[in-house]
Amino acid sequence: NAGVTQTPKFRVLKTGQSMTLLCAQDMNHEYMYWYRQDPGMGLRLIHYSVGEGTTAKGEVPDGYNVSRLKKQNFLLGLESAAPSQTSVYFCASSWDSGNQPQHFGDGTRLSIL
Amino acid sequence: SQQGEEDPQALSIQEGENATMNCSYKTSINNLQWYRQNSGRGLVHLILIRSNEREKHSGRLRVTLDTSKKSSSLLITASRAADTASYFCATDKQGAQKLVFGQGTRLTINP
């Protein structure tokens, strides 16, 4: 099993460009999450999903959109990238909500110039 | 806002020594989890302790939870160079469907 796979691993964008980060999990998990990790800030939740076709806002949702059309995939979109969105993005999945461990991908390192 | 706050922010010890990290949180929780993150990698789940538990062990890891003080500690015994990583606590607030992570403790084990 691959677990949680994130693509791409690295990306450099110019301000105003758009892109989509893909997260795929093969564990049949209901819950999926997108976080960003910045130095000294820990992990902050952007959006999450409690099942196929559902999405919800996290702590820092502005500037991002998400979609969960298939249970195994969770997409994070940046419509108009800004330098403040330079970060490392992590996707995670779990069987249930906070009472179960989350399984993380290895991250996407995104730089916005 | 951060629910969990780790202390210390950074810790450097000699191989073979024990390492203790602390986590404090603000609101009532269902459970608390600890994760490890190696440089350039994603987080890996270490241990989950429920609000009705006081202590839990897993190999060289010992976690305690004091709900009256809203705090938890992670003890790594007989540390190894491979334990060098950042360690995060995460809390599941009652009624929430998500975890809130602290800022982490960066642990360095010196050979």
CA angle A98, B47, B100 (to 5 degrees): 35
B2-56 pLDDT, tens digit per residue, is 466 888 999 999 999 999 999 999 988 889 999 999 999 999 999 999 999 999 9
* Percentage of chain A lying above the pLDDT 70 cut: 99
Report the pLDDT value the prediction gives residue B95, as an integer from 0 to 100.
67
Chain A residues touching B91 at Cβ < 8 A:
98
Chain A residues touching B48 at Cβ < 8 A:
99-101
* Percentage of chain A lying above the pLDDT 90 cut: 90
Mean pLDDT of chain A: 95
Q: Is A88 on the interface with B (CB under 8 A)?
A: no
**Rg for chain A, CA atoms, rounded:** 13
Report the pLDDT value the prediction gives residue B27, as an integer from 0 to 100.
87
CA of B110 vs chain A CAs: smallest distance (Å) = 23
Contacts of A95 (CB under 8 A, 6+ apart): A27, A29, A30, A31
8 Å CB contact of B42 and A107: yes
Report the pLDDT value the prediction gives residue B106, as an integer from 0 to 100.
95
A82-105 pLDDT, tens digit per residue, is 999 999 999 999 998 778 899 999
B57-77 pLDDT, tens digit per residue, is 999 999 999 999 999 999 999
Report the pLDDT value the prediction gives residue B1, as an integer from 0 to 100.
45
Q: Is A89 on the interface with B (CB under 8 A)?
A: no
Report the pLDDT value the prediction gives residue B98, as an integer from 0 to 100.
84
Structure tokens at A10: 């690295």
On whether the CB atoms of residues B73 and B22 are closer than 8 A, the answer is yes
Report the pLDDT value the prediction gives residue B67, as an integer from 0 to 100.
95
* Percentage of chain B lying above the pLDDT 90 cut: 81
Q: Is A107 on the interface with B (CB under 8 A)?
A: yes
Give the model's confidence band at A40: pLDDT under 50 very low, under 70 low, under 90 confident, else very high.
confident
A70-80 pLDDT, tens digit per residue, is 999 999 999 99
pLDDT of A38 over the 90 cut = yes
Structure tokens at B33: 């989890």
Structure tokens at A20: 């989509």
Chain A residues touching B41 at Cβ < 8 A:
106-107
Structure tokens at B57: 């062990």
8 Å CB contact of A42 and B102: yes
Report the pLDDT value the prediction gives residue A2, as an integer from 0 to 100.
79
Give the model's confidence band at A35: pLDDT under 50 very low, under 70 low, under 90 confident, else very high.
very high
8 Å CB contact of B98 and A105: no
